[in-house]
Amino acid sequence: MNPSALAFGFFLLAYIMKLNKKQIFFLIFLIAGTIFIAINNNQGQTSRGQVRKFTERIFGTQMSVTYTHSEDLRDTIMSCLREVDASLSMFNPKSTLSRINRGETDSLDEHLSFILPTKVKNISYFI
């Protein structure tokens, strides 16, 4: 696109919208910033690594995770989430919390021990 045509279009837009000088400067700043980001977005690469996305089913629902890192952390992230799901999920019938709610056990794992007050000693029903 011809830069002079772009400038003319921009000033025509500013005239039609009756923008003051501060608003015009701000609009130029936003347009320049957007162009800079678009040009420097190197196909999902950033200075911190690659933008990565994945979707998994956990906690009784589907979740999407987006993160930026140089390494693929999907297995690490899912391992942590599965550990929490195995302990605290009300939607996982095998979780410690679900087993306590059904009266199958009264022992707490490390996650439940961490979140419950130390005064709670006898548990028969939680949540």
Boundaries of domain holding 103? 49-115
Number of domains in the chain: 2
Structure confidence by residue, pLDDT tens digits, 40-59? 655 555 567 788 999 999 88
Residue 124, in any domain of the structure = no
Are residues 26 and 8 both part of a single domain? yes
Report d(CA 97, CA 84) in Å as an integer. 11
From the list 65, 36, 38, 67, the residue with the least C-alpha distance to 50 is 67
Residue 120, in any domain of the structure = no
Q: Which residue has the tokens 């302990």?
A: 87
Structure confidence by residue, pLDDT tens digits, 11-22? 666 666 666 667
pLDDT at position 7, please? 62
Helix axis angle for 21-40 and 3-17, nearest 10°, is 140
E strand or H helix at 50: strand 49-58
Mean pLDDT of 50-74: 90
Mean pLDDT of 75-96: 90
Residue 102 above 70 pLDDT?
yes
The model carries a pTM of: 0.54
